Chain A
């Protein structure tokens, strides 16, 4: 299974990716989403799922069923867009609160045994070279924190350029 998080309008997404198969779980901006409030409830109150009640409380669980996470996001200042980042913030139940040392620095232990592959697609007509550099560092950091098996990052000047790419 693959988890695809994207921030594209529904019509654009359907037009650009008409052949989404059943093995791809799609998280879209199609319902009201609350922001993470930093309560750590997903670790110490309802371990594995977010305490906030909306349609985005099970991101960690969904990710645990997948071996790949694809993120399609407008590039905001070298990072994810507001919606995409909101989904990721709400998904930290995927990892475990305990601390471990990984690549010489402190990180979180994994909650689940299987490791994922991470692929980020950033789009935007005015992504600067500095922002590309930052986004590349961001995906490297995310990959270490998720202990990803492998990761990649791509940039597109327009969402049209993503059409035809395989997920």
Chain B
């Protein structure tokens, strides 16, 4: 089975989407699963990549939630891919999506998952499953905590189900994941993070509130 991982984050390095795909890859140990990874961090996709993506059994997109939807760099690529796929005709490719947001609640990714599902329908592909991951803001800082433990317990359950569905070429209901961590602490930590970052840039905390 040939699987394409597609990182749709515009961040060139240290993206949460990249971290989630790394975790997924570690779970896809089936010897029949061949995984290739593509990075679509620019708003262009070349013709070779479009041809290649048409030949996989499954496309697994990972991207961050931007303004309740798909980041524009990926949206430009998806439009171009949809036109290409439509010109080639329907194909038996399942589409899966792992969407993360900085908000605590994974359910806030619901609309972006729907947009990806609508894209797969319009592209002549079939929908597999969406995983909406909340608490994306802390996933990099806790990357050394094993999946399925502590704050990553729910995430582990969801990603294991997703991997099984991909390998079985199966469609399933979307899953929304919240961290196993108190929300008020996540918010306190997040707000402190912004203060630390603006100070690290040589500005003052009050500059966070600047109005133009």
Interface residues of A (CB under 8 A from B): 35-40, 43-45, 47-49, 58, 60-61, 64, 76-83, 85-86, 88-89, 92, 96-99, 101, 105-107, 111-112, 128, 130-131, 133-134, 137-138, 141-142, 145
Contact A82 B79 (CB under 8 A): yes
Contact B212 A40 (CB under 8 A): no
Q: Is B11 an interface residue (CB 8 A)?
A: yes
- Shortest CB-to-CB span from A131 to chain B, Å, is 5
Q: Is B144 an interface residue (CB 8 A)?
A: no
Query: Across the interface, which residues of A come within 8 angstroms of B180, CB to CB?
Result: none
| Chain A to chain B contacts (Cβ below 8 Å), 19 pairs | A35-B42, A35-B76, A40-B197, A43-B194, A49-B212, A76-B79, A78-B115, A78-B118, A79-B111, A96-B208, A96-B209, A105-B103, A105-B104, A106-B105, A106-B187, A134-B118, A141-B111, A142-B68, A145-B67
- Shortest CB-to-CB span from A120 to chain B, Å, is 12
Q: Which of B152-207 contact A (CB under 8 A)?
A: 183, 186-187, 190-191, 194, 197-198, 201, 203, 207
- Identify 8 new A-B residue pairs, CB closer than 8 A, beyond the known A35-B73, A134-B111: A35-B10, A38-B66, A44-B203, A45-B203, A77-B115, A86-B43, A86-B75, A145-B67
Q: A86: nearest residue on chain B (CB-CB)?
A: B72
Given contacts A35-B43, A37-B11, A137-B110, contact A45 B201 (CB under 8 A): yes
- Shortest CB-to-CB span from B107 to chain A, Å, is 8
Q: Is B211 an interface residue (CB 8 A)?
A: yes
- Report the bound CA distance from A77 to B117 in whole Å: 8
Give which listed residue, B11, B75, B191, B201, contacts A38 with CB less than 8 A.
Answer: B11
Contact A138 B68 (CB under 8 A): yes
Query: Across the interface, which residues of B come within 8 angstroms of A37, CB to CB?
Result: 10-11
- Report the bound CA distance from A98 to B75 in whole Å: 27
Give which listed residue, B66, B71, B79, B190, contacts A99 with CB less than 8 A.
Answer: B190
Query: Across the interface, which residues of A come within 8 angstroms of B107, CB to CB?
Result: 105
Q: Which of B3-24 contact A (CB under 8 A)?
A: 9-11, 15
- Report the bound CA distance from A106 to B64 in whole Å: 16
Contact B118 A77 (CB under 8 A): yes
Q: A84: nearest residue on chain B (CB-CB)?
A: B72
Contact B198 A47 (CB under 8 A): yes
A-B contact count (CB 8 A): 149
Give which listed residue, B42, B66, B122, contacts A89 with CB less than 8 A.
Answer: B66
Query: Across the interface, which residues of B come within 8 angstroms of A134, CB to CB?
Result: 111, 114-115, 118
Q: Is B61 an interface residue (CB 8 A)?
A: no
Q: Using an 8 Å CB-CB cutoff, how does the interface string of B72-91 with A read, 1 for contact, 0 for none? A: 11011011000000000000
- Report the bound CA distance from A101 to B152 in whole Å: 23
Q: Is B70 an interface residue (CB 8 A)?
A: yes
Q: Is B96 an interface residue (CB 8 A)?
A: no
Give which listed residue, B79, B122, B191, B197, contacts A44 with CB less than 8 A.
Answer: B197
Give which listed residue, A38, A97, A112, A138, contacts B9 with CB less than 8 A.
Answer: A38
Q: Using an 8 Å CB-CB cutoff, how does the interface string of B27-56 with A read, 1 for contact, 0 for none? A: 000000000000000110000000000000
Q: A34: nearest residue on chain B (CB-CB)?
A: B43
Contact A47 B210 (CB under 8 A): yes
- Shortest CB-to-CB span from A146 to chain B, Å, is 9
- Report the bound CA distance from A105 to B68 in whole Å: 14
Contact B194 A98 (CB under 8 A): yes
Contact B118 A141 (CB under 8 A): no
